[in-house]
Amino acid sequence: MLDDMFDYVAGIRDRPVWQPMSQPTRERFRSRLPHAPTDLAEVYRDFSELVVPHATGNVHPGFMGWVHGGGTVVGMLAEMLAAGLNANLGGRDHAPIEIERQVVDWTRQLFGFPRGASGIFVTGTSMANLMAVLVARRTALGASVRTAGLGETGRRLRAYTSKAAHGCIAKAMDICGFGSDALLGIAVDAAHRIDVAALRAAIAADRAAGLKPFLVVASAGTVDIGAIDDLTEVAELCRSEGLWFHVDGAFGALAMLSPELASMLAGIERADSIALDFHKWGQVPYDAGFLLVRDGAKHRDAFAAPAAYLRRETRGLAAGAQWPCDLGPDLSRGFRALKTWFTLRTFGTDALGAVIARSCALARHLEARVRAEPELELLAPVNLNIVCFRYRCEDADALNREIVADIHESGLAAPSTTVLDGRLAIRAAIVNHRTDVCDIEQLITAVLTFGRQRAAGLTPLIEIEAPPLAL
C-alpha cells in the first residue's frame, strides 16, 4: 500500500486531475452491512480500483479549484504514525499533547502573539471561526451566557465583516444563537478590502440604535480573489471601539511564512484571535484547521467545563493542568498536530514560505498569460495566488460554466467558478506545491480549446480513464 501510494504521488501528473464516477461504480458503494470478514487484499483492491481513480484530485498539480492543499508524503507518513499510536488528544499527560503544545507555540511565535496565548487544532477554519465567535460572545456577555443563554443583551449584539468574507462567518453567527442577521456585511473597495469608513459608520449607527457591537471579522485572503483587509486600520478601530478583532486567515495567514509577503498581513499581530488552515497553503494533509487566541484565559473561559470523570490529578496519566478539551467543543480529538509538526520540521518554515511565494508568482504568470490572450478576459486584480478570468463570448456566464465542467471532465485541470460583479468567473487558486508553469499552460490551453468549441456550438467529446492505484 505504501509503495503504491508513493508511486501514485510521484506519478500524479500523468493521471487525469479528476474523473467522473460511472453509475455502476457508484453502486459498488451501496452494499449491505458487512457482517462477515473480507480479505484485506480484496478491500484494498476496491480502494485501488474504485476510490483512487475518483478522488478529488487535489494532490494533482493541475488542481486549482476552491482552496485545496496538495499535501505531502511526509504528512502522509506522519498521519500513518499518528493512526498507529491512536492517540486521543482531548487531554491527559502524554507526549502527543506536548507535540500539539509545541505547534501552538510555533504558531504563536509566527504571529507575534504573547506567551499567554493559546491555540488548538480543529477540523478547519469554519470550525475555528465558529469557536472564535463563541470566545468573543463569552467575553462580551460574561459567564452567564454559558448558563442562561444570550438573554436581552445578547440579542442586541452585532458583528461585522466584509461582503467578501467567507460564508462560514454567517453560519457561525447562526450556530451561536445570534442569527446570521446579527452579522453586517460591510461594503468593499475595488480591491475587495473592507471599507473601514463604512465599517466605522455602521458601528456608530448601530450604537445610536441601541445595539451592542462586539466583534469584527477581518479577512486575510478572501475566498474569491485573495484580498487582505487593512488589518492595521481594523485593529485600530476595534481597539478604540472595544470590539473583539478576529482574523479569518484560512489560507492567507500563512503568507506570514514568506518574508516577501508577510508585510501584506501587517496588523494581524494585533488580532484577538486568528483562524487558519495548515491543510491549505501549509501543505499538511486534511484536516488541520487551527485557532489561535491572544488571551488564553478568555479562550478557556468559553469552553472549559468541570466533570468528575475528567478530573485533573497532580501525577499519573490524569495529570497536566490544561487539557485541549478545555479549549473547544471536542473531547476525543485525533493527533492532527503530528502531521503538522512533521511538515514544519522536515521542510522548515522557510521552504514552506518559498512555496507560498512561488504560488503567487505562478498566479502572476497566469495573469500575464490571460492578458496576452485576446480571447480571454481578466475579471479581478491578482492579490496573492488567485486568478479570476473567463473566455470572451456571447452568453459568457453559461458558456464559461460549461467550459469549466468540460475541463473537469477532460481531467486536464480543475479550476472552480465564482461570481464577481454579477459575472461568472473561472477561478484558479494556486495552492499546491507541485503546480508548475506547465500546469498553468495546460489550463490556458484547455480554456481556449473548450472555449472555441463551445463558442462554435460544439459539445466537446471527452473520454478518459484513470488507472487504479495498484497495477
Question: Which positions touch ligand PLP (CB under 6 A)?
Answer: 67, 124-126, 166, 168, 219, 221, 223, 248, 250-251, 277, 289
- Say how far residue 190 (Cα) sits from the centre of its chain: 24
Of 135, 130, 181, 122, whose CA–CA distance to 155 is shortest? Answer: 181
Residue whose CB is less far from ligand PLP, 289 or 451? 289
Of 226, 232, 278, whose CA–CA distance to 430 is shortest? Answer: 226
* Adjacent-strand bridge partners of 246: 217, 273
Give the contacts of 139 (CB within 8 A, at least 6 positions apart): 214, 244, 298, 301, 302
Measured CA angle at 336 (ends 76, 88), to 5 deg: 120
362 vs 214: CA distance, rounded Å: 39
Residue whose CB is less far from ligand PLP, 279 or 299? 279
**Considering the complex, what minimum distance in angstroms separates the CB of residue 187 from ligand PLP?**
18
Residue whose CB is less far from ligand PLP, 19 or 273? 273
136 vs 133: CA distance, rounded Å: 5
**Considering the complex, what minimum distance in angstroms separates the CB of residue 134 from ligand PLP?**
16
- Say how far residue 327 (Cα) sits from the centre of its chain: 20
- Say how far residue 430 (Cα) sits from the centre of its chain: 13
Residue whose CB is less far from ligand PLP, 64 or 145? 64
Give the contacts of 400 (CB within 8 A, at least 6 positions apart): 390, 391, 393, 417, 424, 425, 426, 451
Residue whose CB is less far from ligand PLP, 275 or 403? 275
**Considering the complex, what minimum distance in angstroms separates the CB of residue 100 from ligand PLP?**
18
For 339-422, strand residue ranges (E) read 376-378, 386-391, 416-420
**Considering the complex, what minimum distance in angstroms separates the CB of residue 123 from ligand PLP?**
7
**Considering the complex, what minimum distance in angstroms separates the CB of residue 129 from ligand PLP?**
6
Residue whose CB is less far from ligand PLP, 138 or 166? 166
**Residue whose C-beta lies closest to ligand PLP:** 124
**Considering the complex, what minimum distance in angstroms separates the CB of residue 435 from ligand PLP?**
17
Which residue in the block uniquely carries the three cell numbers 502572476? 364
**Considering the complex, what minimum distance in angstroms separates the CB of residue 363 from ligand PLP?**
15
Residue whose CB is less far from ligand PLP, 125 or 442? 125
SS3 391: strand
**Considering the complex, what minimum distance in angstroms separates the CB of residue 166 from ligand PLP?**
3
Residue whose CB is less far from ligand PLP, 272 or 406? 272
